[in-house]
Amino acid sequence: SQKIEQNSEALNIQEGKTATLTCNYTNYSPAYLQWYRQDPGRGPVFLLLIRENEKEKRKERLKVTFDTTLKQSLFHITASQPADSATYLCAHMNRDDKIIFGKGTRLHILP
Partner 1 sequence: GAGVSQSPSNKVTEKGKDVELRCDPISGHTALYWYRQSLGQGLEFLIYFQGNSAPDKSGLPSDRFSAERTGGSVSTLTIQRTQQEDSAVYLCASTQGGPSSNQPQHFGDGTRLSIL
The residues that touch partner 1, with contacts defined as CB under 8 A, are 31-32, 34, 36, 41-46, 49, 51, 89, 91, 93, 96-104
| Closest CB 3 distance from partner 1, rounded Å | 11
Give first-to-last CA distance, the chain, whole Å.
41
- Residue (7 or 15) nearer to partner 1, CB: 7
- Residue (41 or 111) nearer to partner 1, CB: 41
- Cβ-count burial of 30 within 10 angstroms (0-12 exposed, 13-18 middle, 19+ buried)? buried
φ and ψ at residue 33, rounded to 5 degrees: -130, 145
